[in-house]
Structure 1
Amino acid sequence: MSARVVAQAEEAVAEIRAFDAETTGELASLDAILLRSESASSSQIEHLTASARAVAEAEVTQAGRGNAAVIAANAEAMVAAVELADRLDAAAILGMQEALLRGSAPHLVGWRTDAVWIGPGGSTPLTADFVPPHHSRIPEAIDDLVEFCGRDDLPVLAQAAVAHAQFETIHPFADGNGRTGRALVHALLRAKGVTRHVTVPLSGGLLHDREQYVEALDAYRDGDIAPIVSAFAIAGLRAVQHGRTMRARLAVVRNDWRERVRARSDSAVWHLADLLIAKPVVDAKTAARHLGVAETNVHRHLKVLVDAGVLVPASHHKSRRTLWRAPDVLGVLDAYARDVGRRAR
C-alpha cells in the first residue's frame, strides 16, 4: 500500500479507538442501538430495507418473514460475530451465517455446494461479472483466510478490509455472503482490540457511497488492494461521525424524558427507560424480565411512561399481543438511516 493509504487507514483506526473509549460509562444501551444500526445498514447495502419500528417489532415478536425479520436476524449475526471474536475460525464464520439465515432460509446454511456467479439477470458463467471459486475449493480457501486473520504484523483496518474482500471473493455461501463478510470485519476489530465497548456502524459509512464500495471489491479482484482499504478507512471516519451524532441525539431524548416522566429517582421506571434505548419496542414479558418482576406487576411502570408520552401502546396483529414503542428512539434510528442513505457529494 502507498503511504497515503496506510496513513488514511491509521487515522480511521485512531478515530474508532477514540470513539470506543468515549462510550465508557455513558448510555449503557448505546452499543445495542449502534449494533442495530449497523445491521440495518449492512442489510440496506443488499437492498433490504424496513423501518426501525418494523425491525424492532420483528425482534420482539419473532413473527413474519419479510425484510424486517431478515434485518432483525442480521443483528443476531452481528452479536454472534462479536461473541466469536476470540476464536475466529471456520466454525465461527459458519456460526455468523447460521445466525443470519436460520429463521429465513435454514436450507442455505453452510458452505455452498453449487456453482454461483454474480451479474445481471439472465447472465451465465460466461457472461457474469464475477465467478467465485468452485465450491470444492471453499474449505481450503477459508482456512487460508483464517490464517491471514490471525496475523498480527499488519495495519488492523487494512487487514480487516482485505479479509472482507477476500471473503467476498471466495463467496462461500449460497446466501448471506455480504452481511456475514461485514460481520467478519467487526469480529476482527474486536479481536484486535480496536473496539472494546461498541460496534462502530461501518456499514453505514460504506452505504454512503455503495458504488465506490462495489468498485473497490472489483478492483481487489483485479489485484489492487488500495481502493478497498481506502473505502473502509473513509467508512470508518463516517461511522464515527454517525455514531457521535446518534449518541448526541439519544442524550437529548434521555434528557427530555427526565423532564416529562414523574417518578422517584430510584423508581424501576428509569430502568425500563434505559431498556427502551436498546429495545425501542417491548412487550410486557420483555419489560418484566428486564425489571425482574412478575408480568402482572410491570403494567404500572409501563403506564407511567405511557402517561408521559415516552411509550405508545398498540396491538400487534400478527402476534396478537400489545406492544409498547418508544417513538423518540425510533425517530433517532430512522434519522440515522436517512443520514447514511445520502450519497456523498
Structure 2
Amino acid sequence: MKPYQPHKLPLNDIDWSKLIDLMGKANRYIARYDGLLQSVINPDVLLAPLRTQEAVQSSKIEGTQASLKDVLEYEGDQDVEEYKKGDIYEVINYRIALREGREQMQTKPLTLNLIRKMHEILMHDVRGNSADPGNFRRIQNFIGTPGSAIDNARFVPPAVPVMKEALGDWEHYMHHEELDVIVQLAIVHAQFEIIHPFLDGNGRMGRILIPLFLYHKRIIHEPVFYLSDYLESHRSDYYDALKDITDSGSWINWIRFFLNAIIVQAEQNIKKTRAIINLYEQVKKEVTESTHSQYAIHCLDTIFIQPIFSTNYFSRNSGIPKSSVTRLLDILVKEKVIEIAQLGAGRRPTIYAFKRLLTIVNG
C-alpha cells in the first residue's frame, strides 16, 4: 500500500447543500452550550470532573482501561492496583496537555509548535514515550493490527516530505475563514488524523484539538467542549467515517457524522453542565447551613474538584486548618452530602465519595 496523498486545504468541492440540515442545528447547540458556560462563575471548580471524564473517554478509544473512578481514587489518595497506574497516567497527561493548551492560548494562537508541546506532555512517561514525544515523525508509519507489516496495513499516512507540506497547509487552514466553523473543525480533526504526524498519540492529540479549535475560533469561551464520550460509544462508525475519506475521496459522510456527533454531545454536555450548576447551588446551601463555618465554600469547592478523596487529601488541598477538617467531614457525612466509601484503619485514611456529582458525570 502506498502512502496516502492528502487533500489540499481548503477543500474546493464541498457540497454544502448536503450539510445544511445539520449545520444550523450544530451551531445552535454549540451556541446554547456556550451560553451556559458563560453562566458558570467558577468553571475550574464546576467543570473539573467533566475534564477528567473527557480524558478517560478519549484514552479509552486508544485501548486504556482506566475508569473515571480509578483516576479519582488515585488522585484522591486511595490505593489502586499497580496494573492500572499506566492507564491512569495516560488520562492525567491528557488533562494536563489540554490545560497547557488553554493556558498558552491566553497569549498565543493555536500553532504546530503548541501542538508539539502538548504532545510531549501527553506522552510523558507513559505507553509510547519512546516514540519521540513532541516531535513530528521522521519515518514512515502505518495503521494496522499489532505485528502486521506495512503491506497489510489498514492505512498508510503520507510520506514524511508530504506530511511536512500537509502540516503547513493544515496549520494555515486553521486560521482560514471557512463558511462554517463546525464544518471546518470536522475537516481540521480528520485531516490531522489522516496526516498522522506523530509516531504515537495521534488520536488523543486530535481529540484534544476539538475544544481548543473552538476556543481558538472564539466559538466557546472555555475549551471544554468534550466529544470523546460520543466517539467512544460510536467507535466503529468514527473510524469508518474517517476511512471513507481516504477510500473514496469524499468528505460528506465524515462531515455529517461529525456534525451529528456535535449535536448529540452538545445536548448531553448541556444537561450535565446544568445539572452540575444546580447541584452546586443546592449543596452550597446544605453545607453552609449545616456547618455554619467560614470554610463552607472551601469544603464545597474541594468535593466538586475531587469527588473521591481521603482525609489526607482534603486536609492538604482544601485550605482548611487541620483542627477543623475532621469536624467538617463528620458533618458532611451526617448530613449525607458525602458518604464514607472506605473506613480508615491504622495508617490508612478514610475515603469519602460525593456520589451525587459522580452520578451526573457518569450520565
TM-score w.r.t. the length of structure 2 is: 0.80
- Flag the 1:284–1:112 CA change in 2: closer, same or farther, 3 A: farther
Which residue of 2 is the match for residue 184 of structure 1?
209
Q: How far is 1:259 from its partner?
A: 7.7
**Map of 2:101 onto structure 1:** 81
In the other structure, the counterpart of 1:239 is 265
- The range that moved more, 249-258 or 125-134, is 249-258
How much has 1:251 moved relative to structure 2? 5.3
SS at match of 2:157: coil
- Match of 1:9, SS state, is helix
Counterpart amino acid of residue 87 in structure 1: P
The answer as to whether partners of 1:132 and 1:170 remain within 8 angstroms in 2 is yes
The question of 1:127 aligning with 2:152 is answered yes
CA distance in 1: counterparts of 2:28 and 2:358, whole angstroms: 30
| Residue 67 of structure 1, aligned match among 75, 87, 91 | 87
The separation in 1 between residues aligned to 2:183 and 2:166, in whole angstroms, is 19
**Structure 1 residue 248 displacement after superposition:** 4.7
How far apart, CA to CA, are the structure 1 residues paired with 2:267 and 2:312? 35
**Which of 62, 84, 96 is 2:118 aligned to?**
96
Taking structure 1 as reference, are residues 83 and 19 closer, same or farther at Cα in structure 2, changes over 3 Å only?
A: same
Aligned residue for 2:199?
174
Counterpart Cα distance in 1 of 2:115 and 2:344: 35
Work out which of the residue numbers 46, 50, 65 in structure 2 matches 1:49. Answer: 65
Tell me, what secondary structure is at the counterpart of 2:89? helix
Cα distance change, pair 321–285 in 1 and its aligned pair in 2 (3 A): closer
Does structure 1 conserve the Cα–Cα contact (< 8 Å) formed by 2:77 and 2:309?
A: no
* 1:146–1:320 Cα change, 3 Å: farther
In the alignment, structure 1 segments of 5+ residues that lack a partner are 337-345
Matched AA of 2:22: Q
Q: How many residues align?
A: 334
Q: 1:297 to 1:112 in 2, by over 3 A?
A: farther
> SS in structure 2 opposite 1:312?
strand
C-alpha displacement at 1:289, in angstroms? Answer: 5.7
**Structure with greater Cα Rg:** 2
The unaligned stretches of length 5 or more in structure 2 are 1-13
Partner of 1:331: 359
Aligned 8 A contact 1:202 1:239 in 2: yes
Sort the Cα spacing of 1:49 and 1:17 in 2 relative to 1 into closer, same or farther, 3 A.
farther
Structure 1 range deviating more: 42-51 or 254-263: 254-263
Bigger shift: 292-301 or 41-50?
292-301
Aligned to 1:339: none
Q: Deviations over 1:188-214 (max 9, x none)?
A: 100111111361221222233222211
- Higher alpha-carbon deviation: 109-118 or 173-182: 109-118
Distance 1:43 1:254 in 2: 28
Letter in 2 for 1:215: D
Runs of 4+ aligned structure 1 residues displaced above 6 Å come to none
**Partner Cα separation in structure 2 for residue 33 and residue 20 of structure 1:** 18
Q: Which amino acid in 2 is paired with 1:325?
A: A
Q: Which residue of 1 aligns with 2:325?
A: 298
Distance 1:153 1:332, change over 3 A: closer
Q: What percent identity do the matched residue pairs reach?
A: 26
* Worse-superposed segment, 203-212 or 122-131: 203-212
Aligned ranges 1:5-24 → 2 under 5 Å: 5-24=19-38
Identify the residue that residue 176 of structure 2 maps to in structure 1. Answer: 151
Q: Which residue of 2 aligns with 1:312?
A: 340
CA separation in 2, counterparts of 1:315 and 1:130?
51
Q: 1:329 to 1:140 in 2, by over 3 A?
A: same
Match of 2:245 among 211, 220, 225: 220
What letter matches 2:340 in structure 1?
V
SS at match of 2:31: helix
1:199 maps to which of 213, 221, 224: 224
Partner of 2:11: none
Cα offset, 1:158, TM superposition: 1.2
Q: CA RMSD in A?
A: 3.1
3-state SS of the aligned residue for 1:263? Answer: helix
The superposition leaves residues 111-133 of structure 1 with CA deviations (integer Å, 9 ceiling, x where unpaired) of 23333211224432122110112
TM-score (normalizing by structure 1): 0.84
Query: CA 1:294 to 1:271, structure 2 compared with 1: closer, same or farther past 3 Å?
Result: closer
Counterpart of 1:183, as a letter, is: I
Q: Which moved more, 1:221-230 or 1:249-258?
A: 249-258
On the 8 A contact 1:204/1:235 being kept in 2, the answer is no
1:33 to 49, 61, 64: 49
